Amino acid sequence: MCSVISSAIQLKDKGFTMEQCLGLEEVPDKRIGNTKNRGKPVEVEGKKFDSQREACRYYNVKEATFIKRKQKSLTIEQCLGLEDVPDNRYSSGRRV
């Protein structure tokens, strides 16, 4: 019983009503409508995804791999392994 009371007090301190603290009313989900954590919509090969993360899951590419490729200024298709990445290691602009 003490844990229920201490939990209710903690929720009350966070700005919830006493009814919400005691479970008599539903607590609104603060994440609904929060677009901060959502990714930008992405379109790959005509298929629309809600985020880059969703596209990575669909094409079975690790997010870390995608991010590293994106940091190299590759296109989304190249980041997902759908297009070949040009090998610029031996470009004519470099001195050997």
Domain region containing 75 = 42-79
Number of domains in the chain: 1
CA gap 16, 90 in Å, rounded: 63
Confirm whether 28 is domain-assigned: no
Instruction: Give the pLDDT score at 61.
Output: 94
Confirm whether 59 is domain-assigned: yes
Confirm whether 33 is domain-assigned: no
Per the model's pLDDT, the better-predicted residue between 86 and 31 turns out to be 86
Per the model's pLDDT, the better-predicted residue between 48 and 2 turns out to be 48
Instruction: Give the pLDDT score at 29.
Output: 64
Average pLDDT, integer, range 78-94: 81
Average pLDDT, integer, range 18-47: 72
Confirm whether 53 is domain-assigned: yes
Confirm whether 64 is domain-assigned: yes
Lowest-confidence range among 7-11, 55-59, 86-90?
A: 7-11
Of the candidates 66, 23, 25, 65, the one whose C-alpha atom is nearest the C-alpha of residue 42 is 66
